[in-house]
Amino acid sequence: MERHDRSRTAFIPGVHLSKGEVPLILRTHYSGEISPDMDGSEVTLAGHVHEIRDLGGICFLVLRDREGLAQVTVLTKRADKKLVEIVRGVSRESVVLVRGKVKSEPKAPNGFEIIPEAVEVLSRADSPLPLDPTGKVGAELDTRLDARFLDLRRPASMAVFKIESAVMRSLRNTFYENGFIEVCTPKIVATATEGGTALFPISYFEREAFLNQSPQLYKQMLMATGLDRVFEIGPIFRAEEHDTRRHLNEAISVDVEVSYADHEDVMALLENAVASAYRYVSENCDRELRILGIELDVPKTPFRRITYTEALEMASESGRRSMEWGDDIDTETEHYLGSVIGEHYFLTDWPSSVKPYYTQPYDDKPEICKGFDLMHPSMELASGAQRVHDYELLVNRIREKGLNPESFEFYLKPFRYGMPPHAGWGLGLARLVQTMLRLENIRDAVLFPRDRRRLVP
């Protein structure tokens, strides 16, 4: 608890130096780190003014920081006149620094309050506010996103991103524990990954280039290097004009690729990674889950496997609009399957015609392939496959999809010089968080979402 020993001599931002070297953070404690048993100790808190309740002879200023709320209590007749003036004059959501003594007080929230010796307003907030961070009055998603910086001061909004951080941490843990290497592949590329999906064109000096829709081709090329197991958590860009609560034009994709593995191996990795993330969040994000009112059930592994053909049969037995074998599964069917199954599941053995050219067909039954989707009852979370590693087959598959192998030369080249068999998947981070926390709209799971119309903030 080194922080407790830091002394403060001045209330001037940026001049607190520790032995003339590293600038100190102004606060000594987060509000969540204070407890009644610290009665009498001096602390410095910093944060936003959540509320001021002025009762006349006694005035409460509630300070909010990342870890909670702390009540600062001023007895206006006894306290320093100037201090009283500052506390009464500060606007809600202004940034303040409060130095004072912890007082154990049963009448105060959490059993303690701060008796201030000095209060400094570091930044004054304008009024009226674009939304109410205390949550007394709600705000629509659009209003919240327009003032996202302020929306995130609402504990329920911030909790989502603390949990998202925990999810990424857990995923990285899983990958490192399994011998993976984290990589970064280019986001500015010369060609589409697989055709079909629309790309954002950009101007790259004198040439046209695109924002990458997926790290697919690059992570596969890395399988030709001997890195064997790679993962990447990075942005992908899709120029589709979709307009739903589970699509965005910029998303974070969690991608893995594994050499000497097949689709079964990477499905096991995927279900383990997802279940571990749930477990990690349930064990480490107690306060955030409580704020969100979420009881987290860790999904049981292994997840159920359902083949594409079985899924079609389930849908037609239910008397729903039947699909032709070879159609992609439509949203209505997807929701039906989700409602019947009620937990995470894999959809496997897809028709080769539905999946991209790099998906490995079964040797004995080439009309189906080793591609899979990871489904949450409400939506698709991930898709993956064992990949084609044979050069001739890959070129043929590209041609069958109506694409020109010449434009994929940079990708195909490694397949001629020793490409191990490999498999992998890509998982939508925001969708994982959205489904985990039962958020209605994916925009709630992204700090600054990019959709068809929204480009700012």
Partner RNA sequence: GUCCGGAUGGUGUAGUGGCCUAUCAUGAAGCCCUGUCGAGGCUUCGACCCGGGUUCGAAUCCCGGUCCGGGCGCCA
Contact positions vs RNA (CB under 7 A): 51, 53-58, 60, 71, 73, 75, 77-78, 91-92, 105, 107-109, 113, 127-132, 134, 136-143, 194, 196-197, 238, 240-245, 247-249, 251, 328, 330-332, 334-335, 373, 380, 382-383, 426, 428, 430-431, 440-441, 443, 453-454
The residue (of 118 and 354) whose beta carbon lies closer to RNA is: 354
Q: How far is the CB of 150 from RNA (least distance, A)?
A: 10
The residue (of 195 and 299) whose beta carbon lies closer to RNA is: 195
* Separation of alpha carbons 115 and 127, rounded Å: 27
For strands 379-386 and 17-18, give the pairing. unpaired
Q: How far is the CB of 134 from RNA (least distance, A)?
A: 7
The residue (of 240 and 283) whose beta carbon lies closer to RNA is: 240
Is the C-alpha dihedral spanning 85, 87, 88, 92 positive or negative? Answer: positive
| Burial of 347: CB neighbours in 10 Å, binned 0-12, 13-18, 19+ | buried
For residue 214, give the DSSP letter: -
The residue (of 161 and 391) whose beta carbon lies closer to RNA is: 161
Is residue 298 within 8 A of residue 278, CB to CB? The reply is yes
How many other CB atoms sit within 10 Å of the CB of residue 76? 17
Q: How far is the CB of 151 from RNA (least distance, A)?
A: 10
Residue 84 DSSP SS3: helix
The residue (of 34 and 251) whose beta carbon lies closer to RNA is: 251
Q: How far is the CB of 164 from RNA (least distance, A)?
A: 14
Q: How far is the CB of 7 from RNA (least distance, A)?
A: 27
**Phi and psi at residue 232, to the nearest 5°:** -145, 140
**Six token digits for residue 9:** 């001599």
For residue 192, give the DSSP letter: -
Residue 298 DSSP SS3: coil
Q: How far is the CB of 416 from RNA (least distance, A)?
A: 26
Q: How far is the CB of 191 from RNA (least distance, A)?
A: 15
Is residue 426 within 8 A of residue 214, CB to CB? The reply is yes
The residue (of 177 and 332) whose beta carbon lies closer to RNA is: 332
* Separation of alpha carbons 145 and 154, rounded Å: 12
Query: For residue 437, how far is the Cα from the chain centroid?
Result: 11
For residue 154, give the DSSP letter: S
Q: How far is the CB of 121 from RNA (least distance, A)?
A: 13
The residue (of 77 and 413) whose beta carbon lies closer to RNA is: 77
Cα separation values, 456 from 132, 146, 148, 309, 452, Å? 21, 8, 10, 43, 11
H helix count then E strand count, the chain: 12, 18
The residue (of 361 and 384) whose beta carbon lies closer to RNA is: 384
